[in-house]
Structure 1
Amino acid sequence: MKKIVIPTDFSDNAWNATKYALELFKEEECTFFLVNTYTPAIANSRFMAAAINGVTIEDSVSLASKKGLQTVVKKIKKNYDNPRHKFNIISSFNLLVDEIKEIVEEENIDLIVTGTKGSSGLEEVFMGSNTVRIIKSIKNCPVLAIPELFDYSSPIEMAFATDFNRFYSLSELQPLITLAKTFKSVIRIVHVQYEIKALTELQHFNLGMLRKYFNEVEHYVHTVSELNSVSKTLEIFSSELDIHLLAMLNYQHSYMEKMTREPVVKRIAFHTQIPLLVIPELGMAPPSNAFKKEQKVLVK
Structure 2
Amino acid sequence: MKNVLLPTDFSENAWNATKYAIELFKDEKCLFHLLNTYTPVIASSRFMATSLGNVQEGSMRTSSERGLEDVLSKIKKKYNNPKHNFNTISSFSLLVDEIKDIVEKRNIDLIITGTKGVSGLDEVFMGSNTVRIIKSVKNCPVLAIPQHFKYTSPTEIAFATDFNRFYSLSELQPIIDLAKAFKAAIRIVHVQYEIKALSEIQMFNLNMLRKYLNEVEHYVHTVSELNSVSKTLEVFTKELDIHLLAMLNYQHSYMERMTREPVVKRMAFHTQIPLLVIPELGMNVPSKTSQDSKNAVAD
Report TM bin, short chain. over 0.9
Aligned to 2:296: none
CA contact (8 A) 1:189 1:222 kept: yes
- AA aligned opposite 1:113: I
Aligned to 1:298: none
- AA aligned opposite 1:34: L
CA contact (8 A) 1:6 1:34 kept: yes
Aligned to 1:280: 279
RMSD after superposition: 2.2
**How far apart are 1:118 and its partner, in Å?**
1.2
CA contact (8 A) 2:168 2:282 kept: no
Q: Following superposition of structure 1 onto structure 2, how do residues 150-229 of structure 1 map, counting pairs within 5 Å?
A: 150-229=149-228
**How far apart are 1:265 and its partner, in Å?**
1.8
Aligned to 2:12: 12
1:175-204 CA distance string (max 9 Å, x none): 000000000000000000000000001111
Residues 123 and 213 from structure 1, CA distance in 2 versus in 1: closer, same or farther, beyond 3 angstroms? closer
Aligned to 2:297: none
**How far apart are 1:152 and its partner, in Å?**
0.4
1:66-119 CA distance string (max 9 Å, x none): 100010000000011101000000000111111011111111110000001112
d(CA) in 2 for partners of 1:83 and 1:230? 42
CA contact (8 A) 1:5 1:111 kept: yes
**How far apart are 1:46 and its partner, in Å?**
7.6
d(CA) in 2 for partners of 1:286 and 1:214? 19
d(CA) in 2 for partners of 1:163 and 1:117? 27
TM-score (norm 1): 0.92
CA contact (8 A) 1:109 1:289 kept: no
1:202-242 CA distance string (max 9 Å, x none): 11111101111111111100000000100000000000000
Percent identity reads 75
CA contact (8 A) 1:110 1:288 kept: no
SS at match of 1:177: helix
d(CA) in 2 for partners of 1:176 and 1:213? 11
d(CA) in 2 for partners of 1:19 and 1:193? 36
1:153-191 CA distance string (max 9 Å, x none): 000000000000000011110000000000000000000
- AA aligned opposite 1:116: T
Unaligned runs of 5+ in 2: 294-299
1:111-151 CA distance string (max 9 Å, x none): 00000111235464321111111111111110000000111
CA contact (8 A) 2:157 2:246 kept: yes
Question: Would you say 1:27 and 2:27 are equivalent positions?
Answer: yes
- AA aligned opposite 2:45: S
**How far apart are 1:45 and its partner, in Å?**
2.5
d(CA) in 2 for partners of 1:205 and 1:46? 62
Aligned to 1:271: 270
